[in-house]
Structure formats: structure tokens, C-alpha cells
Amino acid sequence: MIGRLNHVAIATSDLAKAAAVYRDQLGAEVSAPVDLPEHGVTVVFVALPNTKIELLQPLGEHSPIAAFLEKNPSGGMHHLCYEVEDVEAAAAYLKSQGARVLGEIKIGAHGKPVLFLHPKDFGGVLIELEQA
Amino acid sequence: MIGRLNHVAIATSDLAKAAAVYRDQLGAEVSAPVDLPEHGVTVVFVALPNTKIELLQPLGEHSPIAAFLEKNPSGGMHHLCYEVEDVEAAAAYLKSQGARVLGEIKIGAHGKPVLFLHPKDFGGVLIELEQA
């Protein structure tokens, strides 16, 4: 079912610093910050030859990454995003297998349908599925 | 400096279960478990079209992932591995930038020189650099 690793999301409370580390120390290609108010984050994209890293900083109140940063003030890996052909079919299959799907299918940060899966059912890792 | 994302490492105390989730629920291609006693882990490789996931379970005493699993009993993302052309040059440059390199350059799980970087200097994320 899962295809490419679309991105690894890293939450940070200091996006400028995290972006500078990836640009200046790790020598990666780093985008300008992009505000995504409907997702409650500001994001910097780190382009790698085979996938990307998304550096996320909370934006506004009720950011979905605020609780994570309270528990992990230094930041850290927040979720993995795998591509699937059909998010709706993936949700139906995973539910039939007893896995917990978090909330409803939504339009994600890349304008495509996405779904989040409960970390407790996936080895402690929050997983996003994005329709490719 | 950094090139491809070589792998995402996920630590688990139940490798059989984690492998079954990736194989049966997420429909990925999953290897048989491989013991790496010199690295203190048993690993299952999850092959994705553009990178791989490594599911790690402690092997023997003094496993490098034992402390992580004590703090995170449900498991979770342990480190990211980026490829570099020259690990020694990378270490020298990063040290000159004030970043903390953990220990010495070693031969990693894929038979290539590797280096670990201090999470505190990299946004809370443990980073492995592997010579490509």
C-alpha cells in the first residue's frame, strides 16, 4: 500500500535556527518559510535528492504541534508521511484491520487528501498518509 | 553537504509486531530480521521506492537503543541517516562550526563509515551521517 516517503516532519520552536542549521551546517537546499494558517504551522522545506524534510513551527493558537513542543522543548521528529494511491481506500482497509485513524480525511499542506494514523498502532510513530 | 536520506530508524521493543504492521497493514516490502551483534540491534528493513525504514530492536546488553526505549516504551523514531560523500570531511567541518560530533567515526550497519551528531545541535534529532 504505502509508496514513497513523502517527507519527515521535524517540529521546532525556532524555525529560523533550524533552517540555518540545515542550510549552513548540513549544506542542504532550504526554502523560505511558508505560513500555512489553515494547518497552524509555518514550514521550511529542506530538499533532499530523494525526499524532503519539513521543519515546522507553530503558527497561531491551537497549532497541532504545540503539545508536542511542550513535551519536547528542544524539538524533534514529529511524523512520517507516506504516499498512497487512494487515501479513502487506505482508511477503510486500516480500520478493517483495527487500526485507529485520527479524525477525518482532510486536504493537507500540499493540497492533497491526507489522513493521520494513531501512533499507538504504528510503533509509537505518528503517520500521515498522503494521496500521491 | 548532505545528500539522500538513507533511512529513518524506528526503535521498537517488539520487532515482530512492528514488522507485521508494516507488512500486513501498510503493505510494504519487509525483510527478515537481521542480527547485528556488533551494533547491538536486530534490524528489519522496510523497502520504500525512494528510501528505507529500519526497524530496530535491542540485541544483547548495552544496546545503543536501550535507553531510548526506557524513555519511550511504545517505541518511536530514533534517528535520521543522511548520506555524505566524505564522513571525515563532514566531521571536520561540523566541528569547526561548533557542532558536537558523538564519539568517533565507525563502520556502520551497512559496512560504511558513519558518524552521529548531537541532537541538541540539530533540533532535537539524532542524525547519522553515512558515507555514500
Q: What value, to the nearest 5°, has the Cα angle with vertex A28 and ends A52 and A19?
A: 85
How far is residue A56 from each of residues A11, A120, A132, B123, measured CA to CA in Å? 5, 22, 21, 11
Task: Name the residue ranges covered by the structural domains of chain B.
Answer: 5-131
DSSP letter (8 states) at residue A121: G
3 state DSSP class of B91: helix
- Report the pLDDT averaged over residues A90-107: 94
Q: Which of A90, A107, A108 is nearest to A99 (CA)?
A: A90
Radius of gyration from C-alpha coordinates of chain B: 15
* Whether the predicted pLDDT of A7 surpasses 90: yes
Query: Is A90 within 8 Å of A84 (Cβ atoms)?
Result: yes
Cα dihedral sign, A71-A75-A76-A77:
positive
Q: What are the percentages of helix, strand and coil residues in chain B, rounded to 5?
A: 25, 40, 35
The percentage of residues in chain A with a pLDDT greater than 70, rounded to a whole number, is: 100
> What is the band of A109 on the pLDDT scale with cuts at 50, 70, 90?
confident
Mutate one of B7, B122, B129 to test the A interface: name it (highest A CB count within 10 A): B122
The pLDDT, as a whole number, for residue A14 is 97
Active site residue B88: no
Least Cα separation, residue B112 to chain A (angstroms): 19
Q: What value, to the nearest 5°, has the Cα angle with vertex A51 and ends A50 and A54?
A: 155
Q: Considering only alpha carbons, which residue of chain A is nearest residue B79? A: A77
pLDDT tens for the 132 residues of chain B, in order: 999 999 999 999 999 999 999 999 999 999 999 999 999 999 999 999 999 999 999 999 899 999 999 999 999 999 999 999 999 999 999 999 999 999 899 998 889 999 999 999 999 999 999 999
Q: Which of A81, A131, A132, A80 is nearest to A106 (CA)?
A: A131
The pLDDT, as a whole number, for residue A70 is 96
At A20-39, the pLDDT tens digits run: 999 999 999 999 999 999 99
Fold of A5-131: 2,3-Dihydroxybiphenyl 1,2-Dioxygenase; domain 1 (3.10.180)
At A56-83, the pLDDT tens digits run: 999 998 999 999 999 999 999 999 999 9
The pLDDT, as a whole number, for residue A106 is 92
Mutate one of A7, A48, A126 to test the B interface: name it (highest B CB count within 10 A): A48
